[in-house]
Chains A and B, each alone.
Chain A
Amino acid sequence: MTARDYSVRDIHLSLDGELPADERADFDHWLDANPDMKALSARYEADRDRLAAALADVAEEAVPERLASLLAGGGQASRRRAAWWQAAAAALLLAVGAAGGYMAGLAGLGFDRAGEDLAAQAIAAHRTFTPATDHVVEVAANGDGYLKTWLSSQVGLTLVLPDLTGEGYELLGGRIIPAEDGPAALLVYQNSKGDRISIYMTAASTTKARGLYGEHEGTTKAIYWLDPGYGCAVVSDLPEDQMRPVARDAWRQMVDGLNL
Chain B
Amino acid sequence: MPESVLFWIMGPLAVIAAIGMLLVKKAVHSALLLAWVMITLAFFYIAQGALFLGIVQIVVYTGAVMMLFLFILMLVGVDASDSLTETIRGLRPIAITAAIGFGGLMVSLIGRATLGRESVGLDQANAAGNVEGLAYQLFSTYVFPFEAVSALLITAAMGAMVLAHHQREVPRSTQRDLSEQRFRSGSLATAAGLPGPGVFARHNAVDVPALLPDGTPAPASISETLRARGDMRDSSQFQLDQVNTEVKDEK
Instruction: Determine if chain A interacts with chain B.
Output: no
Which residues of B are at the interface with A, using a C-beta cutoff of 8 A?
Answer: none
- A residues near B (Cβ < 8 Å) are none
